[in-house]
Amino acid sequence: MKKRFIALLSYLLFWLVFFIIARLFFITTHYSEAFQFNLGSLAATFLHGIKLDISVTGYILILPMLLMIPGIYFNGTWFRRFLKWYTCLIILISSIIVVSDTLLYKYWGFRMDYTALQYLNTPKEVVANVTAFQIAMVALTVMLISFIFIWLYIKLIDRLFDGFDRARIWPVAMLIFTILFCALIIPIRGGVGIAPINAGTVYFSDDMFLNHTAINVTWNVGSSVINKKPVDNPYKYGDLNSAKELVDSLTVKSGTTVKILSNNRPNILFIVLESFGSALVGPLGGDSLTTPCLNRYIDEGVLFTNFYASGNRTDKAMPAILNGYPAQPSVSIMKEPKKTQALPGIVKMMNGLGYQSEFWYGGDINFANFNSFIISSGFSSIITKDNFNPEDYNSKWGVHDNVLIKTLTDSMKSVREPFLKVVLTLSSHEPFEVPMDPVFKGNDDLTKFRNSVYYTDKTIGSFLDWAKGTDWWKNTLVILVADHCRRNSVEVLAYSEDIFRIPMLWLGGALATHDIEIEKFGSQVDIPLTLLHQLDLDDNYPFGKDLLSRESNSFAFYTFNEGFAFITDSSKYFYDHKLGAPVAEEGEDPASAGMLGKAYLQVLYDDFLNR
């Protein structure tokens, strides 16, 4: 029993050493970039990258540990022979990935993933893009690394698996190793937290090279193969060029913007409200009791009354809000760091104008590659769950909104202007456990959800009440917007507007006008261009429009699992791609809305695939 434990532990350490050397190899082969950093920064890539090293080692251990369970009962050297050949194969595959990645990174600027495998179907084109010398060097290096580690394995590890006899108390031993096998899920997932490990988990720096260095490229290739997205656009409804012309006509950028700000360089504070739907906001025709503070502040700001979330999750909302990039059906651009880092964005633009940018979130930032997205967005400072005392972890997701907002308040008592701050709340996320006595009686999910929204609404209301008395308020624009809503009953269908219609309210002393409503249909994708035009700025946001321009079109587009909705002043069209037909149509000309929605989705997904 003891001998088996020692052998397995040694095998695990062997693979960790392999991946540490692989990272060192990447640094060495990119010395011109790597040596711009001090040893501390480069050492940090190993410290952060160990998470993915352990995860991929867990994957490698699955088959050996599974076979070791019956091996406890049987005698013989079959397990040793299997493990030797299995290890040699994994070493060879990993060496090919590690060496090929060093070459591809110079051209692509991101770590190797399944993208490279797509070119195996056209080997002539691959060979045409590299020299014979490069091919020879890759092959020789792969053979050298493979030989060294196979030799080390045979010399140091292989002998540890020799002479395994049947365990004397084999039922107990089998039980113990079965438990150990099941426990592999912990290193594979990256721990016992809510969010499983992803490439963005190891991001730690403002410099993308350091973040890329921390990635375990073997893990990256394996993960991307398992979760690979379509290589061809599944939403081809017609000629792509014609579709692009329709989208360009929808998102016309010229026109006269109605100015609602008193100056063009205000402080900007985004407060993104978890799961706040229009159904909970009285002035939007919803419940008048759940958000009393928001209802009260609506009289002091600019309310967008026909506003929609781009998707149904936070990871789909944030690229829309900050980058003007719409949600896609069934996939999320946030989960692909190489795509998100190429998006245009508000944060980097405002950084260039001297703004101090901060992101505030009281939860775990490692879900859905959120960490890599926030870092690549360009925030100067990032505050998350890790910045709070563990004693304040009174929520499944992290610290509650009152703890987050209190810390934000303290930091803004002496704040440097101009600033751009993005605050994401979390207490109104499942399981809706909030530190207050229930206002609404009941134990069903909807009632608990309403109580959690009431709690966050009260917290934000208190913060705004305080902020109005500060010196910086008079030059500040506050944008309150939900990330999405939620399905509050089984009767609500996946495409329903109840899940996607959300509030957006602009407040603050920087407003030149108050208590007005904007009825034009729009979505989170329109926020960047609408804001930048108020600041006399512009950028390339091909899918958004200026909601305050007299000439811009009134429409909202959002996506659900495998479909989309396209809503205009006169028509509504809801299309299910798997069904291949609309699931609902309303208004004067839903067919026209459907044509525009299909063109929009086709162009969007084509853009997504090509990023």
**What's residue 76's pLDDT?**
64
**Which residue, 222, 198, 187, 190, is CA-closest to 93?**
222
Among the residues of 153-192, which ranges form H helices?
A: 170-182, 185-189
pLDDT digit string, tens, across residues 366-406: 877 889 999 999 999 999 999 999 888 876 778 999 999 99
Which CA distances in Å does 36 have to 33, 40, 98, 101, 531?
Answer: 6, 12, 22, 21, 37
pLDDT digit string, tens, across residues 72-108: 766 668 888 999 999 999 999 999 999 999 988 876 6
**What's residue 328's pLDDT?**
93
Tell me 155's DSSP state.
I
**What's residue 254's pLDDT?**
74
**What's residue 582's pLDDT?**
92
**What's residue 118's pLDDT?**
58
**What's residue 70's pLDDT?**
79
Which CA distances in Å does 241 have to 340, 344, 563, 595, 599?
Answer: 24, 23, 22, 14, 10
Tokens coding 104:
């591809």
Using DSSP's 3-state secondary structure scheme, residue 566 falls into strand
Using DSSP's 3-state secondary structure scheme, residue 419 falls into strand
Q: How confident is the model at residue 130 (pLDDT cuts 50, 70, 90)?
A: low
- Catalogue all structural domains in the chain, each as residue range(s) with its CATH number: 2-226 (no CATH), 252-552 (3.40.720.10)
Tokens coding 480:
């309150």
**Which residue, 459, 409, 461, 400, is CA-closest to 429?**
400
**What's residue 596's pLDDT?**
97
With beta carbons less than 8 A apart as the criterion, state whether 89 and 100 touch.
Answer: no
Report d(CA 506, CA 386) in Å as an integer: 30
pLDDT digit string, tens, across residues 307-321: 999 998 899 999 999
- Considering the chain, what is the average pLDDT of its residues? 91
User: Which of residues 481 and 491 earns the better pLDDT score?
Assistant: 481
- 10 Å Cβ neighbour count for 452? 28
Of 129-143, 347-361, 468-482, the range with the lowest mean pLDDT is 129-143
**What's residue 61's pLDDT?**
96
Q: Is the pLDDT of residue 22 over 70?
A: yes
**What's residue 195's pLDDT?**
76
Q: Give percent of the chain with pLDDT exceeding 70.
A: 94
**What's residue 112's pLDDT?**
86
Report d(CA 142, CA 93) in Å as an integer: 9
Q: Is the pLDDT of residue 578 over 80?
A: no
**What's residue 123's pLDDT?**
60
Q: Is the pLDDT of residue 9 over 70?
A: yes
Residue 252's φ and ψ, nearest 5 degrees, are -55, 130
- Three-state SS string over 486-533 comes to CCCCCCCCCCCHHHHECCEEEECCCECCCCEEECCCEEHHHHHHHHHH
Q: Calculate mean pLDDT across residues 487-507.
A: 88
Report the predicted TM-score, pTM, of the whole model to 2 decimal places: 0.79
**What's residue 74's pLDDT?**
64
**What's residue 358's pLDDT?**
98
**What's residue 191's pLDDT?**
87
Q: Is the pLDDT of residue 477 over 80?
A: yes
pLDDT digit string, tens, across residues 38-47: 999 999 999 9
